[in-house]
Chains A and B, each alone.
Chain A
Amino acid sequence: MLPIRKMIGDGVALNIIPTDKFKTNCISVRFLCPMAEETAALNALLPSVLKRGCLRLPTMADIVKELQMLYGSELQGNVGRFGDTQYLGFTSFPLRNEYTEGMNVSAEILSLMSELINKPLLENGVLKAEYVESEKRTLTDRVKAAINNKTSYAIRRCVEEMGKGDPSSIPDTGTVEQIAAVTPEALTKRLNEIINTANIEIWCAGVFDTDKLENDCVKFFVSENRASRQNTEVTPIAPAEKVNTVTEDQPVKQGKLSLGFTTTLRPTPEASTAFNLFLGVLSSAPTSKLFMNVREKLSLCYYCYAIPDRQKGTIVISSGIEVDKKEVAEKAIISEIEAIKNGDVTDDELEGARKSLISGWKSICDDEMAMINWYSAQTVWDRFISPEDCVENCKALTVSDVSAVASTLTLHTVYFLNGTLKGESEDEDYE
């Protein structure tokens, strides 16, 4: 079932995916802004500061208690990126009325989201300083803690190296310095800018009284002062003239290798299916070349997989290896891509990837969040492509389509996190 999309205000879209297969609904409200150094930290702080308290429910405990009474509904604050866009907002999975003795929890949740955004807790006309400072501290800790997870750290570092000077190198949390510079005044100003100028995408999957839902959304999210929408276009990363090599030492046992590639393929509805099939053959299917050859045959690593950014036209291939196997692993991974370029793809590899993708697409309708993620990534296009459309498109693709995708790839950056610790667990002591 395709979403029903309606513009309910200047730059405000309501998207409804009707389905009665689930015991819960899913509601996600997202504000979209251009990724920019001046606003990244402000945007990243807003959902967590707003969740600390609003006019009616001034403390975090008050809000959580209200959510618990709304049948244990969670209210997630979201911050993320998509192409050169940073989004922020809230998501919740309220129980359907059948399980709540008739209470319309979904309507209550939407109303609560609106309260957090439109009726925040203010002191002297600005967001409460204590909450702002406390969330700045928390976000700073999170930015610093990014180094704890070596896998994601090594991927992120590769992306930064590839996008120097580009919005993609801006962390979606902002930097420690940008966070430190945030004041309650600046954050309050930013909140008002977002309410009035950000593109707003409201996603609702499940069973709804659609008239009431639309009226509520207009009332809650279309402000009187809405002005022109913000630019959310994307500039892909250009291929490198010379491969950029970066090595960083850290006191860990395992080395992390990230190979960053650019592709000249642009994510149109037509091209995206072939791109996915290529990723299946390379990495995501159980028969993939990286899994079967680099892990199973060469026994080089526990994981080796590709992380694509379709909007930015990049693919990072990440793996965890013994530090003295860097050259071997790099060569092995690149040779798998070369093999696909040369059409060296077996029937098992192609059909395995095709079946795996088709199963994945067909099961998207088994999960409301998956449906929302699927369609919300398509709002840059002029129409929606359903998972079923992709299934049909995919059936006709051949090895030469997959090779053609591989031929658009160029190695851009080799990032290596060099582990300097050796051997078994040390530094342990008992009392």
Chain B
Amino acid sequence: MNKPITVKSKLLGETYTVVTHKSGLKIYVFPKDLTSSYCLIATRFGSVDNTFKVGDEQDYVTVPDGVAHFLEHKMFENEDGEDTFVKFARTGADANAYTSFRVTAYLCSCVDELYPSLEILLTSVFSPYFTEENVKKEQGIIAQEIRQGEDNPSNAVQYGMLEGLYERNSVRINIAGTVPSIMKITPETLYRCHKAFYNPANMALCVCGQATLDEVLAVADKCLHGIEPIPVVSQTVTEGKTAARKRVTKKMQVSKPIVCIGVKDVGISSDPEERVKKSIAFDLISAICFEKSSDFYASLYESGLISPSFSTWYEHTESFSFFSIFTDTDEPEALYEKFEEYTQKGLIDAITPESFERARRVLYSAFIKSFDSTEDIANDLIVDFALEGADIFKYTDHVKNITADYVIKVAKELFKPEAYTMSVVEPI
């Protein structure tokens, strides 16, 4: 175990301590004087990691789509036959888990019995127990979850946009997989994925609330022993700069067409802090050029081409990066034309010293507000920063130092029409 490092933010009046446990697990303890404490442990295993090799294996092996999410569902089941939720119920903790494109996270919030709850969380995550029977049972539950998602037009239009942008990157595949793909999952698949990705060296833990480092370490010592670090490598795919398809259309029962226009970005830095900086630029572009204060929004809202459902969605990570707008509209093609026209001229002019300063205040304020909740702190710290290799407290420095020129440069590189796609869900 290395020496704990304490990191302070004078602006926020907050402090956290980080240490690498002897198992390889990075542990963050963030004291916060609120009633409920929050524990979150996450692994760098998301839906995009469907082809990988472990240790000294020569060849990559591909697993069925949706396996990270399936594994997440199975980790709260135990050999003693007692569900982890029942164990948490005894400490009064509220537990949950989620899978994204990039990570799987397990979490619990509790008021009274923090360390016993943390022990249940860590024990569950490091004690896989899969049988033919319990895998079969879960296939029924997850099939219903997938069906529910498939009936959701917003999900469909967003996945359609990703299918439009990407030829090979697995971000185009539904996080939960499909009903046929999850039916191929076996206990062996799950054990292989668990061994590969649930190695403490591939994970990070945050305890936020009424916690001390010594007591958190005592629980970690108890739950994490005898696990050797094994390197795991996910296959990376190269993607061209242009969108794979110009249009993706689906028909569903909706009241009017729903549209998502996506822009593919291949300019991804290997430096995590550079990526944070660029994602701040995406935030600022969204706030300045597309949100309600922009002329773009006002004129399209007035002409009825967009509705209040209008929103932007963007991700800038190590393995994919895109920017998109979402709305319902009666005229998808007219909206696409306006979008292309605006992003080629007009958008850059919207970035003025005044609009830049307003957007920066919005970002700054949202960041400060996120420190009012142990849940937000633990999620942001681990998922958005630690697992990406960045430091949460450096964020305000980036926001302070970023310039309008940099944002303009990012915008100019981003908005190239050949990188655009439009996904539409049309009424049946």
Q: Is the CB of B248 within 8 A of A430?
A: yes
Q: Tell me, in angstroms, the Cα distance from A64 to B251 when the chains sit together.
A: 35
Q: Is the CB of A301 within 8 A of B89?
A: no
Q: Is the CB of A65 within 8 A of B293?
A: yes
Q: Tell me, in angstroms, the Cα distance from A427 to B246 when the chains sit together.
A: 17
Residue A150 at the chain B interface, CB threshold 8 Å: yes
B-chain residues with CB within 8 Å of residue A177 when the two chains form the complex: none
Q: Is the CB of B250 within 8 A of A251?
A: no
Q: Is the CB of A359 within 8 A of B111?
A: yes
| CB nearest neighbor in B for A387 | B35
A-chain residues with CB within 8 Å of residue B109 when the two chains form the complex: 359, 363
Of A1-9, A189-197, A261-269, A292-300, the segment with at least 4 beta carbons within 8 Å of chain B is A292-300
Least distance between A347 CB and chain B CB atoms (Å): 10
Q: Is the CB of B90 within 8 A of A355?
A: yes
Residue B151 at the chain A interface, CB threshold 8 Å: yes
| CB nearest neighbor in B for A253 | B147
Least distance between B82 CB and chain A CB atoms (Å): 9
Q: Which of B142, B152, B294 is within 8 Å of A61, CB to CB? A: B294
Q: Is the CB of B365 within 8 A of A71?
A: yes
B-chain residues with CB within 8 Å of residue A147 when the two chains form the complex: 253-255
Q: Is the CB of B34 within 8 A of A68?
A: no
Cβ proximity bits B146-159 to A, threshold 8 Å, 1 near / 0 not:
01101111100000
Residue B112 at the chain A interface, CB threshold 8 Å: yes
A-chain residues with CB within 8 Å of residue B154 when the two chains form the complex: 148
Least distance between A297 CB and chain B CB atoms (Å): 9
- Tell me the residues in window 71-126 of chain B with beta carbons closer than 8 Å to chain A beta carbons: 83, 85-86, 88-95, 109-112
| CB nearest neighbor in A for B297 | A61
Residue B371 at the chain A interface, CB threshold 8 Å: yes
Given contacts A61-B294, A64-B293, A65-B293, contact A141 B91 (CB under 8 A): no
Among the interface residues A60, A68, A254, which one has the most CB atoms of the partner chain B within 10 A? A68
Of A20-28, A156-164, A240-248, the segment with at least 4 beta carbons within 8 Å of chain B is A20-28
Given contacts A22-B372, A138-B307, A150-B151, contact A292 B255 (CB under 8 A): no
- Tell me the residues in window 330-370 of chain A with beta carbons closer than 8 Å to chain B beta carbons: 348, 351-352, 355-356, 358-360, 362-363, 365-367
Given contacts A65-B358, A366-B35, A425-B150, contact A302 B144 (CB under 8 A): yes
Residue A424 at the chain B interface, CB threshold 8 Å: yes
| CB nearest neighbor in A for B142 | A302
Given contacts A252-B151, A424-B179, contact A61 B92 (CB under 8 A): no
| CB nearest neighbor in B for A94 | B365
Q: Tell me, in angstroms, the Cα distance from A295 to B147 when the chains sit together.
A: 15
Residue A379 at the chain B interface, CB threshold 8 Å: no
Q: Which of A21, A148, A359 is within 8 Å of B110, CB to CB? A: A359
- Tell me the residues in window 246-273 of chain B with beta carbons closer than 8 Å to chain A beta carbons: 246-256
Q: Tell me, in angstroms, the Cα distance from A406 to B45 when the chains sit together.
A: 43
Residue B239 at the chain A interface, CB threshold 8 Å: no
Q: Is the CB of B86 within 8 A of A254?
A: no
| CB nearest neighbor in A for B371 | A23
- Tell me the residues in window 1-42 of chain A with beta carbons closer than 8 Å to chain B beta carbons: 21-24
Q: Which of A64, A151, A285 is within 8 Å of B148, CB to CB? A: A151
Q: Tell me, in angstroms, the Cα distance from A300 to B151 when the chains sit together.
A: 18
A-chain residues with CB within 8 Å of residue B35 when the two chains form the complex: 362-363, 365-366
Q: Tell me, in angstroms, the Cα distance from A84 to B322 when the chains sit together.
A: 46
Cβ proximity bits B349-388 to A, threshold 8 Å, 1 near / 0 not:
0000000001101111110110111100000000000000
Q: Tell me, in angstroms, the Cα distance from A111 to B109 when the chains sit together.
A: 37
| CB nearest neighbor in B for A59 | B298
Q: Is the CB of A362 within 8 A of B144?
A: no
Q: Is the CB of A429 within 8 A of B249?
A: yes
Q: Is the CB of A359 within 8 A of B137?
A: no
B-chain residues with CB within 8 Å of residue A365 when the two chains form the complex: 35
| CB nearest neighbor in B for A431 | B247
Q: Is the CB of A287 within 8 A of B86?
A: yes
A-chain residues with CB within 8 Å of residue B86 when the two chains form the complex: 286-287, 292, 348, 352
A-chain residues with CB within 8 Å of residue B153 when the two chains form the complex: 148
| CB nearest neighbor in B for A73 | B365
Q: Tell me, in angstroms, the Cα distance from A356 to B93 when the chains sit together.
A: 7
Residue A121 at the chain B interface, CB threshold 8 Å: no
Given contacts A292-B83, A296-B83, A320-B148, contact A359 B112 (CB under 8 A): yes
B-chain residues with CB within 8 Å of residue A359 when the two chains form the complex: 36, 92-94, 109-112
Least distance between B392 CB and chain A CB atoms (Å): 15
Least distance between B124 CB and chain A CB atoms (Å): 13
Residue B237 at the chain A interface, CB threshold 8 Å: no
Given contacts A99-B368, A299-B140, contact A71 B255 (CB under 8 A): no
Q: Tell me, in angstroms, the Cα distance from A356 to B117 when the chains sit together.
A: 13
- Tell me the residues in window 385-431 of chain A with beta carbons closer than 8 Å to chain B beta carbons: 419, 424-425, 427-431
Least distance between A426 CB and chain B CB atoms (Å): 9
| CB nearest neighbor in B for A425 | B150
Q: Tell me, in angstroms, the Cα distance from A362 to B35 when the chains sit together.
A: 7
Q: Is the CB of A68 within 8 A of B359?
A: yes
B-chain residues with CB within 8 Å of residue A64 when the two chains form the complex: 291-293
| CB nearest neighbor in A for B367 | A72
| CB nearest neighbor in B for A299 | B140
Residue A134 at the chain B interface, CB threshold 8 Å: yes
Q: Tell me, in angstroms, the Cα distance from A23 to B371 when the chains sit together.
A: 8
A-chain residues with CB within 8 Å of residue B246 when the two chains form the complex: 431
B-chain residues with CB within 8 Å of residue A285 when the two chains form the complex: 89
Residue A277 at the chain B interface, CB threshold 8 Å: no
B-chain residues with CB within 8 Å of residue A95 when the two chains form the complex: 365, 368-369
Q: Is the CB of A148 within 8 A of B150?
A: no
Q: Is the CB of A72 within 8 A of B361?
A: yes
Least distance between B64 CB and chain A CB atoms (Å): 15
B-chain residues with CB within 8 Å of residue A322 when the two chains form the complex: 144
Residue B334 at the chain A interface, CB threshold 8 Å: no
A-chain residues with CB within 8 Å of residue B95 when the two chains form the complex: 286
Q: Is the CB of A321 within 8 A of B90?
A: no
- Tell me the residues in window 10-38 of chain B with beta carbons closer than 8 Å to chain A beta carbons: 33-36
Q: Tell me, in angstroms, the Cα distance from A58 to B409 when the chains sit together.
A: 33
Q: Tell me, in angstroms, the Cα distance from A411 to B153 when the chains sit together.
A: 32
Among the interface residues A72, A250, A424, A427, which one has the most CB atoms of the partner chain B within 10 A? A72
| CB nearest neighbor in B for A71 | B365
Q: Is the CB of B364 within 8 A of A72?
A: yes
Residue A119 at the chain B interface, CB threshold 8 Å: no
Residue A203 at the chain B interface, CB threshold 8 Å: no
Q: Is the CB of A21 within 8 A of B88?
A: no
B-chain residues with CB within 8 Å of residue A292 when the two chains form the complex: 83, 86
Least distance between A40 CB and chain B CB atoms (Å): 19
Least distance between A388 CB and chain B CB atoms (Å): 11
Residue B241 at the chain A interface, CB threshold 8 Å: no
Top 8 nearest A-B pairs (CB, nearest first) are A352-B89, A355-B92, A72-B362, A72-B365, A299-B140, A286-B85, A144-B255, A68-B358
A-B contact pairs, 20 of them (CB 8 A): A22-B372, A61-B295, A68-B362, A72-B365, A95-B368, A138-B307, A148-B153, A149-B152, A250-B253, A254-B151, A286-B89, A287-B89, A296-B137, A301-B141, A302-B144, A320-B144, A352-B89, A358-B111, A359-B93, A366-B34
Known: A71-B361, A362-B111, A427-B251. 19 other contacts (CB 8 A): A22-B372, A48-B308, A61-B294, A61-B295, A95-B368, A145-B255, A148-B153, A150-B151, A320-B144, A322-B144, A348-B89, A355-B90, A359-B110, A360-B94, A362-B35, A366-B35, A424-B179, A425-B150, A430-B163
